[in-house]
Structure 1
């Protein structure tokens, strides 16, 4: 039986863009690449799943329900027939219907993109592999931000490279958007 694949677009929401409550480095560029993937999957009539994070923490500063910031960004707006999974945790499988949906639709391969690479993309990709999905991570359709650890700053570009490199080791095949869309 042929692997059935789906596109998983994680948390490309307004708060991660300029003017949002938690802007990421390169979010606009990543969203344009995610849009290319989305258009490719739509053209091929392949399943598309949008993940939308809704914060349920009292002290949260972004993804607050009923705000403009929580809305899925216009570059990847879902259309009728595309699944939307709402979540409250970094891992898109945790306390959602994502796994049941994928099993019900006999999907075995996930093409993953989204935000934040170091948090929700990472935890979702690792969980997907743990659930025996074949994963392809589209690195240039993901974005993250500068981090700090033990008083030292880590630039977003280094965070991005490090997390993608770690996921490429076992959890996924990593490609860029043009490689994937052109079938390279």
Structure 2
């Protein structure tokens, strides 16, 4: 029997309106993540909230001790829920996430969070490599426009490309409603 845990990755204030690194659709994605969080809470399933801190001075967001680095009010952890602080895109790197999941007999991770093209992607791939089945909640993730060689790729296209790439081997992809109603 599969036991699920929810990962809520980096849904922090700097990614929202007036934040230091605003994403496209952050508010909407956070509300979808909240629906999934409520589902996990109602079913007494493990939730790991991931909070990223920038230690590299070249990164203009998530500076320790700032309001921008705080977890957004839409998805705040409750007392007793796991909070993991990280410094790299992969939520497993130099954290106790793997130990936490193993201690809770988790076999499947459900991934929500930000940014689709960075920490969501890196964490999902690592989770699969560690042997977990993965489900990504596509509408509970957000991204940002990207640029290469003077060409701008819109956030929606970045998000779609990264989430679509995960479907080949790394994850099943569902919307929040599809997941909750399954």
5+ long unaligned stretches in structure 1: none
Structure 1 residue 150, shift from structure 2 partner: 1.5
Q: Distance in 2 between matches of 1:99 and 1:79?
A: 21
Alignment of 1:88-127 (within 5 A): 88-127=87-126
Structure 1 residue 5, shift from structure 2 partner: 0.7
In the other structure, the counterpart of 2:22 is 23
Structure 1 ranges of 4+ moved more than 4 A: none
Q: Distance in 2 between matches of 1:112 and 1:124?
A: 8
SS at match of 1:25: coil
Q: Distance in 2 between matches of 1:116 and 1:139?
A: 11
Q: Distance in 1 between matches of 2:99 and 2:178?
A: 30
SS at match of 2:167: helix
Q: Distance in 1 between matches of 2:20 and 2:165?
A: 28
Q: Cα deviations across residues 46-87 of structure 1 (Å, max 9, x unaligned)?
A: 100000001111222100000000000000000011100100
Scaled by the length of structure 2, the TM-score of the pair is 0.99
Q: Cα deviations across residues 16-42 of structure 1 (Å, max 9, x unaligned)?
A: 000100000000000000000000110
SS at match of 2:44: coil
SS at match of 1:50: strand
Q: CA RMSD in A?
A: 0.6
SS at match of 2:49: strand
Q: Distance in 1 between matches of 2:102 and 2:141?
A: 25
